[in-house]
Every structure is written in structure tokens, then in C-alpha cells.
Amino acid sequence: MQKPVLVTASLPFELASFTSLLRKQSEVIPGRKNLLSGVLGVGDNSQNVVVLFTGIGGPIAKKSLLEALSYVFPKLVLISGTAGALNIQSKVGDIIVDCTQGSKTLRDQVLKTAGEAARPGFKVWHKPLHTANQVVTGFGNKTQVGQLTKAFAVDMESSDLAQTLNEKGIEHVVVRVISDGLHDNFPIPFKKYIKANGYPSITQLTGHLLVHPWKIPGVILLGRQFHAKCSGFGYILKEIIEKTVDL
């Protein structure tokens, strides 16, 4: 039986442009919507894919991955999703391949494929990624984290997932899309509304916006920016799987 490629992200919206490309989608564990299986391609060129939504934050992501690995035995894991820029050079929609995780051979293959698949005007960076234990937003905070860590972008799960995969001896690479620039600021105290399962409470987020309606335009703007500039990420992941992975 063909081993699947496992693709991770913290939340479903980060991979919406990718999951829309999968055929024959189903839940790996009935009733568990955070672990989905599907197929890319057709016939002899098809590839089984499993998508894991880990939740936000390193500890919960590691727990989700370990649970998934008791059901799924992947030949490769793409640690993906979004990242925030820590450098003025990067912009929303750019791709970052973490230069500190995974084998150089695999990273080189992913860099080549991503570079060929990226839309005109967007870059693919081979730079260090920092995994933070809290949401980093706003110019001041991002600049400080960038200076302290020398990282190019920031997320909240990659290093924990990569450590787990290293311990399991599973090949992996970190490839993420920049979803917010150095000057972008998320107007909601996001960490305050993350539930124990790593998912944000929609009820509490909505309540916050109802109490602070002047923040709504900022949220809408960031959402529109993400959909306009990051929608090509799904195609890039598809190309990486189809052209980089040995089918």
C-alpha cells in the first residue's frame, strides 16, 4: 500500500487552497475533523495525502501529531501553514523554507519546485524560522523577536513538530506562507481566546469584536490580504508533493 504524505497546519483556513485540490476526502477517524485523507492526481500518478490540523501552539501541535502517527504512517511530512514576517524584505504571499529543519537534499528539491510554482512577484526564501510560544504581532514585537533570534519569520509549531519527527525518524521539511508582514498587527488579543484544544473560540472572538467594533475593519483587511496574496500556497504544496516526492 502506498504510504501517504502528511501535511500539517495549525488551522483549516491556512490550507483551504490546498484541501480544495484533494479528491476523495474523508475523515481518518470518524468524527475527528482535524485529520483528513484525500488523493492528489489521478491514476498511476495519484498520491495519497493526509492533512492534520494541529491547533495553535507547540505543545498541542506535538500532541496532535503523536496521536495522528498512531493512525497514519507517512513517508514524508510537510510542516506547513502560515508564518509572520520578521524582516522587511519578506512580504505577504512569499514562501519560506526553514533552513534549519529537514535534510538539505529535500530542502533543495522543495526550494526548486516552490520557486517554479510561485506566482510572479512572490519570492521563496531559504531562511531560519523561529517558533514562538505566543502570538507575535505588531512592528515593535516582530522587530524585537527578529533581532533576538536572527530568524526571518515566526510561527508557533514548527520546531516542536520537527523535533517529534526527528525522534521518529520521519523525513520532513518546513514550508510556510507569509501571512502577515512586519508592519501588520492583528487587532485582537488572540492568545486570550485559544481553547485547550488549540483552536480559537469563535464565540469569544465574535464577542470581543462586538465590544470593540472599531477593530472589525482591521480584521477584515487582514483576511482580504491573506486570501488575495496567499491563495497560491495550495498549488505550491500540490506541486511539491507531485514533483518532489518520489511517487
The pTM score is 0.92
Residue 133 contacts residue 160 (beta carbons within 8 Å): no
Mean pLDDT value of segment 44-66: 93
Identify the CATH number of the domain in which residue 49 sits. Answer: 3.40.50.1580
Structural domains in the chain (count): 1
Is residue 235, in this structure, part of any structural domain at all? Answer: yes
Mean pLDDT value of segment 158-187: 94
Is residue 80, in this structure, part of any structural domain at all? Answer: yes
Residue 232 contacts residue 17 (beta carbons within 8 Å): yes
The band of 220, judged by pLDDT with boundaries at 50, 70 and 90, is confident
Residue 246's alpha-carbon distances to 3, 25, 45, 115, 123, in angstroms, are 11, 22, 10, 19, 25
Is residue 210, in this structure, part of any structural domain at all? Answer: no
Is residue 199, in this structure, part of any structural domain at all? Answer: no
Is residue 215, in this structure, part of any structural domain at all? Answer: no
Percentage above 90 pLDDT, the chain: 66
Is residue 200, in this structure, part of any structural domain at all? Answer: no
Query: Nearest CA to 138 among 162, 154, 125?
Result: 154
Is residue 221, in this structure, part of any structural domain at all? Answer: no
Please say if the pLDDT value at position 112 is more than 80: yes
Is residue 194, in this structure, part of any structural domain at all? Answer: no
Domain span including residue 103? 5-184+231-244
